[in-house]
Amino acid sequence: MQSKPQCNLIIDSCCDLPFAVVNREGVTILPYPYIGNDGEHKDDMYHSITPHDFYQSMRDGNCPSTTQVTLEDCQRALVQAAQSGVPTVFLSFSSGLSGSFDLACVVLDQVRQDYPEAEIYAVDTKLASVAEGLLVYEALRQRENGLTARELAQWAEEARNFVNEIFMVEDLTTLHRGGRIPASVAFAGGKLDVKPLLNISSDGKLSLIGVARGRKKGLKQMVEYYQKRAGEASPEQCVVIGGADCPKDAERLVDMMKKAEGDRLFLECNIGPVIGSHVGPGMIALVFWGTDKREELSVADRIARKIKSER
């Protein structure tokens, strides 16, 4: 009989995992807000709207925007964690894409003043969407396997560097409108009439890593990226496929992966409305455990980091 987990988790809706996967005892889900033409909503992981209806509304001209987690929701989750007396780990959406982690740290400092005995750890995953989801998925397993809160926080801070992701978007217009990429990058992508391929760098920000002439070629390049960076991934390690209302492409990508790599545990997810507000319909993502993303740093970046560490 498996023992009860030694810690609780706070996660956020931007992990874009299916609700059934994260709906567990001791797991609190912090909802992100988004604002559509019909007013403000909270991301309830597709309880109140279907993925197709959300993305169809964008195709029909709805231009949703997003904000960081509300102060009230953040306070509520952290105060409840402190009052529970159970050690807790908060796995947060990347600080490179939102101010929510910084807000959580400010709130946590206040909570610790009122509850000095509370054991709560806040971890910046430096990941987003289903990349964040893969880390959360494995954190749930590590929690079930008996890691303490301190151990789980330490694990997450190292494991986040081995979550590899590549995703393809229809164009860069929506990302630029949301302030996630520079205008120059969006302009160049539009002029080239290509499908942009992006990932999340080790500092938690979006990075354009390639382009593809058409979606079929883009899917092929995604599989090749996996083969290049997966390393010695075992068949037991989960691979996440995320789609923004493009089920045929998601099915095609799974088939291509199976032909190239054989048996794998695939978890298919719908990109949620908060991330969807920035990437638009048609985004497709491939996320997996692979090589250390810190190895991608340029020589100049490595020198700069070394200097900072020696201060």
What's the pTM value of the predicted model, to 2 decimals? 0.90
Instruction: Residue 152: name the closest of 120, 126, 105 by CA.
Output: 120
The CATH architecture of the domain made up of 162-296 is: 2-Layer Sandwich (3.30)
Across 287-294, average pLDDT: 94
Name beta bridge partners: 268.
Answer: 241
> Which regions of the chain carry the CATH code 3.40.50.10170?
8-160
Q: DSSP letters along 89-125, please? A: EEEE--TTT-SHHHHHHHHHHHHHHH-TT--EEEEE-
pLDDT-based confidence at residue 1 (cuts at 50, 70, 90): very low
- Amino acid code (one letter) for 287: V
Spatial contact of 207 and 199, defined as CB atoms under 8 Å apart: yes
Q: State pLDDT tens for residues 3-37.
A: 689 999 999 999 999 999 999 999 999 999 999 99
Q: State pLDDT tens for residues 65-103.
A: 999 999 999 999 999 999 999 999 999 999 999 999 999
Q: State pLDDT tens for residues 186-220.
A: 555 555 668 889 999 999 998 889 889 889 999 99
Q: Which CATH number fits domain 8-160: 3.30.70.3040, 3.40.1350.10, 3.40.630.10, 3.40.50.10170?
A: 3.40.50.10170
Q: State pLDDT tens for residues 103-131.
A: 999 999 999 999 999 999 999 999 999 99
pLDDT for the residue numbered 194: 80
> Which regions of the chain carry the CATH code 3.30.1180.10?
162-296
Spatial contact of 168 and 219, defined as CB atoms under 8 Å apart: yes
